[in-house]
Amino acid sequence: MAQPPPAGVYVPVPTFFVSKKAANYNPTAAPLDLETQAKHSIHLAKSGIKGLVILGSTGEAVHLSNQERYGVLSYVRKELESAGFKDYPIIAGTASQNIEEVLEQLKSAKEAGSQWGLCLVPGYFAGASTQEGIIRWFTAVADASPIPVLVYHYPGVSNNVKVIPSTYATLSKHPNIVGCKLSHGDVSYHAQIASSPKIDHSHFHTFTGLGQQLLPVISIGAAGTIDGTAGFFPKSVVHLYNLSINNSPTEEQVKERQLLQYKVSSVEELVVKFGTVGIKEAISRILGLGDADGTRLPLFGGIPGGDKEWENWKEAIGDLDAVEKSL
């Protein structure tokens, strides 16, 4: 049986593109900015983040060619190694629905140094898909994948395709399927998967895609989170995780983790509302990395409302920023 990614906090990193001020900027498809990509990844590793999800939804995987995918994955791996982070966990996302292309991307990911793949549930035919069809799709991928894979369920980008808990229980028995990322707010489904006695949780790790529910889902067996807010407040989310896994907290620690969860959840609303666009805006404004509106078409212009909208988040961001600077 293949091993799952270690428990902890992971970041779904954005893909950085060159600034509009760059000589080689192209408004149709801005070139990759690999230096900033690596700089952000190393900052996260130094801040205690357990690993990275590269080329997930936040990474605009659907906007990159397969050649660009390999370039991002291989460059980040090389720079992490150079910075002293040998064998640092990298999970490569796929969003294609064609099994052969998914397998090509997973093979390329392995060649680029990634240890796991995160495969988005195919949702183009969500209305006609059955649970048996989804099981067969993932089984075909896992049978032929050169690296272990996780099931990525994000209804918001996959036509609200449904994956029920019993489907995860079935898929968890495959030796090359080692976990899932649940990017939705259904805590009952989290519980029915992360706490299921029908799943071997040493082989199959359940990660929430929303840090805003990290504390509660840890209590029901989740292995951690793959969280967008951790991309700009990494130490805070890691600290919340460490507090959450403490099974014998003091009264003071109970109060601390409840307050920290409140602060993380408040900032997380920015991610929920604006997705990739909001994450890039925050990373640019808080960490000074990349353009605030540095996305590829059809994503355009940063968060609607710009500076005026950002003002609405100043209190929540300021509260968590103070925590980050204290750690």
Cα-Cα end-to-end distance for the chain: 38
Q: Which of 66, 108, 104 is nearest to 90 (CA)?
A: 108
Provide the CB-side half-sphere exposure for 209 (13 A, CA). Answer: 27
Helix (H), strand (E) at residue 152: strand 149-153
Rounded CA Rg of the chain? 19
Question: Among this protein's residues, is 20 annotated catalytic?
Answer: no
**b/e per residue 81-91 (b: at least 16 CB within 10 A):** eeeebeebbbb
Q: How far is CA 190 from CA 175, 193, 218, 243, in A?
A: 21, 5, 10, 20
Q: How far is CA 15 from CA 37, 62, 264, 323, in A?
A: 7, 11, 23, 26
Locus of tokens 């990525």: 152
Note the helical H segments in the chain: 34-46, 66-82, 99-111, 131-144, 165-171, 187-194, 214-218, 234-244, 251-282, 306-311, 314-326
Strand partners, 120: 152
- Of 181, 235, 263, 280, catalytic: 181
**Active-site residue set:** 181
